[in-house]
Amino acid sequence: MGRASGPPPGQCPSPFVSIVTPAYNEEETLPHLYAQICSVMESEGLDFELIVVENGSTDQSLEVLKKLHLEDTRIHYLSLSRNFGHQGGLIAGLEYSKGDVVISMDADLQHPPELIPQMLQLWGEGYEVVYTTKKEDKAQPLSRGLINRLFYGFLSRVSGLRLSGGQSDFRLMDRIAVDALCSMPERNKFLRGLSKWIGFNQIGIDYDVPSRFAGESKFRIGHLFRFALDGILSFSIIPLRLFTLIGMVVSTIALLYGIFIVFAGVYAIFTGYQGRIPPGWASVGAAVFFLGGIQLIGIGLLGEYLGRVYDEVKERPVYIVREHSFSSDGRRQ
């Protein structure tokens, strides 16, 4: 794939920067997000656009964005027909972005805009993807941090992507990386994994997570579970192979147990042994219930993979735009 626009990274002293952020019920935060980004970008003398994807909010987020757009045409909004999830909102913003460099971040100000100049400096040194890793999130429960580390550790092992425990969607991507990401035909894009999978010259930086400016996190435990499941099933068939291994182990144990029962019975017949022979019904019942549970889990796992294939075959759009502030369709061709 050829480069869409602009000179090679490291040779563009003043790139046009697109900043993409999905927002769900962030009416209190949006004016402060806009003010902080403008302050940072203007202090660096950079030309930019801020694309906020209003992701089916139930508050006044859209009205706030419309007012900001009237005051400053550098800020654009995409209002989706419903909530298409965090990843759907990010993909919408990426596809509408026009910058030589695209920075994705959350709207809750826990991704500090002050980090943008450092990210752009690394891009100027030739890095096409600059990802970020959370050093510490004081507002996050210890259990949540442990779950995150376990998930990314497991995903790294099964996929070979080397994801860190503090991975986030706060990243900079050169236009060539954005185009590569958006060109992938799959519907359920796990961006934290795909941004690694596409390759290119990458580097990471650490940051401390500030407190939320307002409101509360929209990312619940249920969202975390679905997010983790999407990540694992998108990048590995190890769970399917694991059940093959479990089947082999269980079959071997059952075979050895059967051999033991036969020898115990033969030994009792020829020696008149009156000791306790392993009972039949209890062991058979336990084995049936155990194998039944394993089979149901395996069927459920196959269903998860099959369901994702079903979603992809339907080819439904990742998002639907209800209205936007762009003068035309806005998406890059």
- Its pTM stands at 0.68
Kind and range of the H or E run holding 79: strand 75-80
Kind and range of the H or E run holding 95: helix 85-96
Alpha carbon distance 56, 61 (integer Å): 9
Token pair belonging to 208: 């401390």
The reported pLDDT for the residue numbered 141 is: 56
Alpha carbon distance 24, 92 (integer Å): 14
Residue pair 38/48 in contact (Cβ under 8 Å)? The answer is no
In Å, what is the CA distance from 140 to each residue of 37, 146, 163, 312?
25, 10, 19, 34
The reported pLDDT for the residue numbered 226 is: 63
What residues form DSSP beta bridges with 129? Answer: 173, 202
The reported pLDDT for the residue numbered 103 is: 94
Please name which of 57, 205, 121 lies closest in space to residue 77, comparing C-alpha atoms. Answer: 57
Q: How many residues does the chain have?
A: 333
Residue-by-residue pLDDT tens, the chain, 333 positions:
434 444 454 455 688 999 999 998 888 889 999 999 999 998 888 889 999 999 888 888 899 999 999 998 899 999 999 888 888 889 999 999 998 999 999 888 888 898 999 999 999 888 999 988 877 655 555 555 566 666 566 655 655 566 665 677 889 999 999 998 888 887 777 777 788 888 888 888 888 877 665 555 555 555 555 656 666 666 666 666 677 777 777 767 766 766 776 776 676 666 665 555 555 655 666 667 677 767 777 777 777 777 777 777 777 788 888 888 887 666 554
| Encoded amino acid at 42, one letter | E
| Encoded amino acid at 45, one letter | G
Cβ of 287: how many Cβ atoms within 10 Å? 14
Please name which of 105, 91, 125 lies closest in space to residue 202, comparing C-alpha atoms. Answer: 125
Alpha carbon distance 58, 96 (integer Å): 23
Cβ of 66: how many Cβ atoms within 10 Å? 16
